[in-house]
Structure 1
Amino acid sequence: MTVKIGGKDCRIGIALSGGGFRAAAFHLGMLRKLHALQLLQGIDLLTCVSGGSIAGAALAANWSSGIDTALDKLDEYLRTKSIAVGSVIGGFLDPFESRLDKLAESYDRDLFGEELLSTLQHGPRIYLNATNIATGNMFFFVAGGGSASKAEMGEHELGVVDAGTFKISNAVAASSAFPPVFGPLRLDPDVYPPAEQVGYVTLTDGGVYDNLGINPGLRVERNKLDYLITSDGGKPFTNTSAPTEAGSMVLKAALDILMEQVRGLQFDRMQHRHLAGKGPKPLWFSIDSVEGQAKPGDATFASSISTNLKRLNKDEMIVLQRHGGALVEARLRSYAPELLEAV
């Protein structure tokens, strides 16, 4: 799908980061604003990871029912459902199903109704990204983009196969299987034949490889975009006045610092590729961004909300959606005002 800018057909992609229900609600506000600006219906690509996969898949799965209906269903889900605790406890108590199985079942029950990836063909092309522990690569599930497109899964090293009969819930569960809370999704060769090269593959949270979810949007040979809007609802690193000395907490802090460095490098990568003529024009914003916030304190409050899979209260939903919507509009007006004139 394209939008017309100055007589030219342009393709817009959206990257939805990880960050649990907090990120999903932040993305929801951004998506509502794009819809109000009459841009969302022309989006060509969604690339999602973890909490962003919950939001993106919910939109894609209900696209044919109307965008307003799809966004309202996601809104209700984030306000009323908590899945982390139930999935963890259920996985411990049930000897026949894992915590990840319970997570996928909750997605089926509350969001996707056991629908398959092949049913997403009516909306934009969507990538649900996970991390392949066997190879260290990004592993994607991709669907949508019209009746001529087919659903696929795989990665660049092992290969890509048809995924039309793979359930949406399992793809989203793999993308949002935050370790160590949820174990990885195992794919044997009978489901993913290229797995024979390594015996089998195990898929964990896509944020381990790329928590912004931008990689498919930068693959110009497959997804040639003109713009890439990146909504970062992940956990920003914050200064502390009392740094820990405990071993386990030092490890956690070290991982947080590593993720922050990767996050910064990803933003630089987008900018450098665009300036070199090898990538789309990047428009990014993060949940801790003060510039563009609708009300003083929105960035601080939104950033303080936990990144788990627990339902959000009324105030959290209001601020997260308001903040996501305000930031995307501010970035568009400052750096891509031509998109506001798109038809």
Structure 2
Amino acid sequence: MIALSLSGGGSRAIAFHLGCLRALNHRGVLQKISVVSAVSGGSVIAGLYAYWNNSFEDFHERVLTLLQRGLHQATARHLLSIKVLPRVVATNLISRPLNTIAKCIGREPPLPRWSSRTDALQEALHDVFGSLNLSQIGRPGLDVVFNACELRTGTAFRFGNHSTGNWRLGEIKNNDVHVAHAIACSAAYPLFLPAFDREYIFMKDGVQQKQRVIITDGGIYDNLGITCLEPGRDPRYSLHSYAPDYIICCYAGYGQFAGKKIPFGFYSRTQAAFESVFRKAQDGSLNRLHMHKRARNINGFILPYLGQQDRALPFRPSDLVQRHEVIDYPTDFAAMDVNDIERLSRRGEQLTNILLSHYCPDI
């Protein structure tokens, strides 16, 4: 079994992953992949691949179109729509004040967050994915997992074409979830987008129960999307567990901090703190991949890494898109210039080809 993980990182990640998939398709590896686990921006491109059984060329064109349009304008348009705006206003005028009062007197918030900017993002994704349900996978034999994080329990919350939920709460009954909602949950970066506040009917140990969940960006828990792919996971504690022979982990991260920024204000300090925690968690995940390889739990893995230090590559082609050319591209969902898309995707393609040739030539 070959497993593929696609990290978070907004449109930058989508463009980088597009190049990685281009290399995998050219080498005949993409068709052998059994499961795709994705986070945030990686979830967007994973959804575009998994839920249409079209040619790679058609898929490639759909991704390019999405990147050039971005999601910002569509999100802003939906935020002002009759479907979203009244609920956002009601949340700010009713739910938020009452919840603040409840907090002051030591009570739990009595009302949910009815709507927010994140619902507008969900509507923008609905423009792309329509009313597709998670179970309506487009490519036979392929599993997909969209990774999110549930804040009440502090655990992973995973949306999949077979089941959705987590080990604490159980499975959502009938897996009745739209693809657009799953991807929006996976991409709701908490510094900019409020978490989804929802109620679902869960099934656990034969018992049906309605539970309130607070779901945010999967990068909070695992920005690489590899934890559900690691061998040896106990199905009792994970709704999604796989035993791959090879793991291809495509990571659109920044790499080492340059140390030039000064986190002075509240926002910059908070963002730097988030990024430091993310990096530590990701370092632990990558270390476990090496441990699994040494213990022969997997046959091999590769890590196409946008922030890869070029000097550490096993070999470098003369036309390599260098790290410094792409490393500072932001991680939002703004519209992208064609040249930026080409540089990011080309680097993903080159790194994937280099690493496959050197570390897993027989895959």
Q: Please tell me the TM-score bracket, short chain as reference.
A: 0.7 to 0.9
Structure 1 residue 129, shift from structure 2 partner: 0.6
- Return the alpha-carbon distance in structure 1 between the equivalents of residues 63 and 41 of structure 2: 12
Structure 1 residue 104, shift from structure 2 partner: 1.1
Residue type of the alignment partner of 2:176: T
Structure 1 residue 163, shift from structure 2 partner: 4.7
- Return the alpha-carbon distance in structure 1 between the equivalents of residues 56 and 320 of structure 2: 30
Structure 1 residue 248, shift from structure 2 partner: 3.8
Residue type of the alignment partner of 1:158: L
CA shift in 2, pair 1:155/1:84, >3 Å: farther
How many equivalent residue pairs? 319
Which residue is equivalent to 2:330? 306
Structure 1 residue 102, shift from structure 2 partner: 1.1
Structure 1 residue 273, shift from structure 2 partner: 2.2
Counting only pairs closer than 5 Å after superposition, residues 262-277 of structure 1 correspond to structure 2 as: 262-277=281-296
- Return the alpha-carbon distance in structure 2 between the equivalents of residues 196 and 187 of structure 1: 16
Which residue is equivalent to 1:224? 243
- Whether the 8 Å contact between 1:91 and 1:99 is mirrored in structure 2 is no
Which residue is equivalent to 1:206? 218
Residue type of the alignment partner of 1:94: L
Q: Give % identity.
A: 24
- Return the alpha-carbon distance in structure 1 between the equivalents of residues 337 and 345 of structure 2: 12
- Which of 150, 155, 176 is the matching residue for 1:165? 176
Residue type of the alignment partner of 2:222: D
- Whether the 8 Å contact between 1:19 and 1:235 is mirrored in structure 2 is no
Which residue is equivalent to 2:163? 152
- Return the alpha-carbon distance in structure 1 between the equivalents of residues 291 and 186 of structure 2: 27
Residue type of the alignment partner of 1:77: L
1:18 and 2:8 equivalent? yes
- Whether the 8 Å contact between 1:117 and 1:164 is mirrored in structure 2 is yes
Which residue is equivalent to 2:191? 180
Structure 1 residue 281, shift from structure 2 partner: 2.2
Residue type of the alignment partner of 1:174: C
Partner secondary structure for residue 132 of structure 2: coil
CA shift in 2, pair 1:313/1:219, >3 Å: same
1:260 and 2:251 equivalent? no
Structure 1 residue 75, shift from structure 2 partner: 1.7
Which residue is equivalent to 1:65? 54
- Return the alpha-carbon distance in structure 2 between the equivalents of residues 242 and 181 of structure 1: 20
CA RMSD across the alignment = 2.5
Structure 1 or 2, whichever has the larger Rg, is 2
- Whether the 8 Å contact between 2:149 and 2:215 is mirrored in structure 1 is yes
Unaligned ranges ≥5, structure 1: 1-10, 144-150
Structure 1 residue 45, shift from structure 2 partner: 0.8
Residue type of the alignment partner of 1:268: N
Unaligned ranges ≥5, structure 2: 88-114, 234-240
Which residue is equivalent to 1:129? 147
Which residue is equivalent to 1:94? 85
With the length of structure 1 as denominator, give the TM-score of the two structures: 0.85
Which residue is equivalent to 2:71? 82
- Whether the 8 Å contact between 2:51 and 2:138 is mirrored in structure 1 is no
- Which of 107, 115, 139 is the matching residue for 2:157? 139
Structure 1 residue 217, shift from structure 2 partner: 1.0
- Return the alpha-carbon distance in structure 1 between the equivalents of residues 73 and 156 of structure 2: 24
Structure 1 residue 280, shift from structure 2 partner: 5.5
Which residue is equivalent to 1:7? none
CA deviation vs aligned residue, 1:249-305 (integer Å, no higher than 9, x gap)? 233223222222222111101111232233462211311122366535532222111
1:234 and 2:245 equivalent? no
CA deviation vs aligned residue, 1:211-240 (integer Å, no higher than 9, x gap)? 001011114453110000000013334222
